[in-house]
Structure 1
Amino acid sequence: MNMPIVDARGLEPPEPFERAMEALADLQPGQQFTLVLDRMPHPLLRMLDRDGYRHDVSFRDDGAVAILIARP
């Protein structure tokens, strides 16, 4: 099974956050997805920490931020 990718680059706030929230709402325990953004989403990362989601941030060669988000 391929891991879902939510590509929210080029969208105006708050749409990237809303797309991330929609993807989070669909996650079952043990599932994950990658969120691709133009910039670091500090409010989203704080919310993920608060709610116990695992996440790993990486920077792509094209300058985008990729965040692997997993529901425990």
Structure 2
Amino acid sequence: MSQTRSLDVCGLPPPEPFEQIMTALDDLPNGDLLEVRIHRQPHPLFEVLRNNGFVYNCEPTPDGVFLIRIRHQ
């Protein structure tokens, strides 16, 4: 059964959000979803995700942050 893992990196200075997201993805089993809350769109991350076999969706939330849902392709 798939699980959703959550990670909040709002307000962290670069490169901490990127590093924490990549660490979480290293431990993400196939089929699970990582939901990340972040205070800006991390465009460099998106290319890394695509190049490493992940798919993602990024949406703004009413509270002014972005929610990124990431899973293995």
Deviations 1:15-46 (A, max 9, x none): 00011011100011111110110000000001
Tell me which residue corresponds to 1:61.
62
Instruction: Give the gaps of 5 or more residues in structure 2.
Output: none
- Count matched residues: 72
Alpha-carbon shift at residue 2 of structure 1 (Å): 5.5
Counterpart CA distance in 1 for 2:24 and 2:10 is 15
More strand by share: 2
Q: What percent identity do the matched residue pairs reach? A: 36
Give the letter aligned to residue 10 of structure 1. Answer: G
Give the letter aligned to residue 54 of structure 2. Answer: Y
Give the letter aligned to residue 36 of structure 2. Answer: L
Please give the secondary structure, in 1, of the residue aligned with 2:46.
helix
Instruction: Give the gaps of 5 or more residues in structure 1.
Output: none
Tell me which residue corresponds to 1:50.
51
Counterpart CA distance in 1 for 2:44 and 2:55 is 15
RMSD over aligned Cα, in angstroms?
Answer: 1.3
